[in-house]
């Protein structure tokens, strides 16, 4: 095992990680900053996959208070209000930073102002974008800025395995990493660590995140004893491409702007059905549209592949081809004509609202560890508004970069690691080399089915309890399943094994939290408890792992800025 030291270690190279690196470098260019990413810098993760855009209150007819209320009401009164308030305020500053300092170009109106398109669940068209390929624009420009700063070190194709506490257990010492290319273990000691690995609920049959996502960050945090909140809140995007079971393109998201622009959802009988579920039709929030589609599927009113159709042709094929160039091409590659025909879609697991409990400054209960992006919990509550995701990553990634520099100023020394735990984590990672060879992919397929059927769009107690038993059985069999090759170099079966173990650990937390919440809020719907419960006494779930056992508690939501039934008054105008 190699040992490396650095001042700041950033795990993840999405919007949160790259922004943190740039902000930390700007705050103190003399610090050693190290970026570690599971794939290739700028080529992996979910931020570059963002199609829709970036929510920001810039228009004179909009306001940060209005954006805040949309976020709170969309989150069904479960968001951490100070985190949400920081998000909507800092988004104004951050989008200007993206354009003026990072070099992003977003679409504009004829008068030169940034164009905001319609996204579901919002009272104003505030989603700034670059066509329907916004994420590629943001990540490409951020990547250029990071590469232009030689002082930012880079470890590509490095997998984070464990958070290693200090010898006295009072703080974080560093992170155990695995060089995927060589199979070498590396302990990277750091004065401050940012966890920005991204969530990515890829344990569902239909899912949108990139294939490298396996909830590693949350699994590591759980084992380190950190509390996770809102883990039952898995967002299903209503329109995942349904191209059949034999292609990985199935589940790929077709952006919300399609419905925002006036797209129609039709069942197998060509009936536009969303009016049967919500007066807003297709522009209802993601959870409502997903449940409407799921209900049509359960009733058997489906398309040939078992989903429903999205239709855009009534808007004019040429207009659709111009406004949604990326989507039209993606559908064409899978044999569908988005501009002039019908495309089959299905609800697809898209985003985890849950994550590590953190403060507004991105600090966690483990001193020295910070968190930003999808690994952080509390910002979105029960439902994330489309366009708030990439805003979340860049806003809090920047804050984390600034705060880690301040932390190091007050805590300038490296901390000795817990050597016993370090040895245990290495042994844990090597476990499959000590087992007889088995079929890891078969177990992964079993988990996909279990989570979709028992812990999916619609839940109930018997299904969740069945799901927990099946997750336990899958993990038990995984621990008895080995990998076929002792060569650790680019051993992708080993990586699949490690991915699946992280997914099993976090899947269990999702199911436990869903079983605890006996009401229906946003993305979490219990058919046996369909009512939302009393908003004024709202609670969020918090899960910890103590001595090998899960502790699930319900904590009261603090209404620090607005209470249910109230509306935040507009007291400020957005920056021009």
Rounded distance, CA 54 to CA 340, Å? 28
Alpha-carbon dihedral sign for residues 260, 532, 233, 397: positive
Phi/psi-derived region of residue 8, left when phi > 0, alpha when psi is between -120 and 50, beta in every other case: beta
Rounded distance, CA 508 to CA 498, Å? 16
Residue 273 pairs in a beta bridge with none
Three-point CA angle 8, 350, 103, nearest 5°: 50
Task: Sort strands 158-165 and 172-179 into parallel, antiparallel or unpaired.
Answer: antiparallel
Using CA atoms, how far residue 396 sits from 90, 335, 359, in Å, is 9, 39, 11
Alpha-carbon dihedral sign for residues 508, 510, 514, 516: positive
C-beta of residue 199 within 8 angstroms of C-beta of residue 375 = yes
For residue 37, with 0-12 CB atoms within 10 Å meaning exposed, 13-18 middle and 19 or more buried, which class applies? buried
Three-point CA angle 384, 19, 44, nearest 5°: 75
Provide DSSP, 227-274: -EE-TT-EEEEEEEE---TT-TTTT-B--THHHHTT-EEE-TT--B-G
For residue 299, with 0-12 CB atoms within 10 Å meaning exposed, 13-18 middle and 19 or more buried, which class applies? exposed
Three-point CA angle 108, 111, 114, nearest 5°: 30
**Given the structure tokens 């799901």, which residue do they identify?**
467
C-beta of residue 205 within 8 angstroms of C-beta of residue 144 = no
Query: Across the beta sheet with 308-311, what order do the strands follow?
Result: 234-241, 342-352, 308-311, 264-266
Residues marked active site are found at 237, 259
| Nearest by Cα to 220 from 502, 415, 550, 546 | 502
Alpha-carbon dihedral sign for residues 164, 167, 170, 174: negative
Residue 152 pairs in a beta bridge with 33
| Nearest by Cα to 220 from 563, 547, 562, 545 | 545
């Amino acid at each position: 095992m190699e040992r490396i030291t650095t001042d700041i270690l950033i795990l993840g190279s999405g919007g949160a990680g790259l922004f943190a690196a740039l902000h930390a470098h700007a705050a103190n260019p003399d610090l050693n900053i190290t970026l570690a990413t599971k794939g290739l810098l700028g080529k992996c993760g979910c931020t570059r996959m963002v199609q829709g855009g970036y929510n920001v209150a810039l228009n004179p007819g909009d306001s940060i208070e209005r954006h805040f209320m949309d976020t709170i009401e969309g989150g069904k009164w479960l968001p951490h209000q100070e985190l949400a308030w920081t998000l909507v305020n800092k988004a104004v500053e951050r989008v200007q930073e993206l354009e003026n300092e990072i070099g992003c170009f977003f679409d504009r109106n004829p008068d030169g102002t940034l164009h905001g398109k319609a996204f579901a669940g919002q009272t104003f068209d505030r989603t700034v974008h670059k066509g329907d390929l916004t994420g590629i624009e943001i990540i490409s420009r951020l990547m250029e800025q990071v590469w232009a700063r030689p002082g930012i070190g880079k470890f590509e194709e490095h997998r984070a395995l464990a958070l290693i506490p200090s010898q006295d257990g009072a703080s974080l010492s560093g992170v155990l990493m695995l060089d995927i290319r060589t199979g070498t273990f590396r302990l990277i000691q750091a004065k401050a660590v940012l966890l920005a690995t991204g969530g990515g609920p890829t344990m569902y049959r239909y899912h949108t995140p990139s294939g490298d996502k396996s909830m590693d960050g949350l699994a590591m945090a759980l084992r380190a004893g950190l509390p996770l909140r809102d883990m039952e809140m898995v967002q299903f995007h209503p329109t995942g491409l349904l191209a059949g079971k034999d292609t990985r393109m199935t589940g790929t998201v077709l952006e919300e702007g399609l419905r925002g622009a006036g797209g129609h959802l039709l069942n197998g009988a060509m009936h536009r059905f969303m009016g049967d579920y919500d007066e807003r039709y297709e522009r209802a929030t993601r959870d409502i549209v997903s449940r409407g589609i799921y209900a049509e599927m359960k009733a058997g009113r489906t398309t040939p592949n078992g989903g429903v159709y999205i239709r855009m042709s009534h808007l004019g094929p040429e207009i659709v081809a111009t406004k949604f160039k990326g989507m039209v091409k993606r559908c064409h590659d899978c044999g569908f004509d988005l501009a002039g025909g019908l495309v089959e879609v299905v609800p697809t697991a898209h985003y985890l609202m849950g994550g590590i409990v953190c403060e507004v400054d991105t600090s966690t209960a483990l001193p020295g560890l910070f968190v930003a992006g999808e690994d952080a919990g509390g910002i979105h509550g029960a439902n994330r508004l489309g366009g708030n995701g990439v805003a979340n990553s860049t806003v809090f990634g920047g804050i984390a970069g600034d705060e880690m520099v301040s932390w190091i100023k007050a805590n300038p020394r490296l901390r000795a690691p817990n050597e016993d735990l370090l040895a245990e984590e290495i042994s844990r990672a090597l476990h499959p080399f000590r087992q007889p060879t088995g079929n890891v992919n078969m177990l992964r397929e079993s988990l996909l089915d279990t989570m979709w059927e028992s812990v999916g769009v619609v839940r109930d107690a018997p299904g969740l309890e069945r799901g927990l038993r099946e997750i336990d059985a899958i993990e038990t069999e995984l621990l008895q399943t080995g990998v076929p090759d002792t060569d650790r170099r680019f051993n992708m079966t080993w990586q699949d094994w490690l991915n699946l173990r992280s997914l099993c650990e976090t899947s269990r937390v999702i199911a436990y939290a869903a079983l605890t919440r006996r009401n229906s809020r946003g993305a979490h719907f219990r058919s046996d408890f369909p009512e939302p419960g009393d908003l004024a006494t709202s609670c969020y779930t918090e899960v910890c792992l103590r001595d090998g056992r899960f502790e699930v508690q319900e904590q009261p939501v603090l209404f620090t800025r607005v209470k249910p039934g109230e509306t935040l008054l507009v007291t400020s105008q957005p920056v021009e």
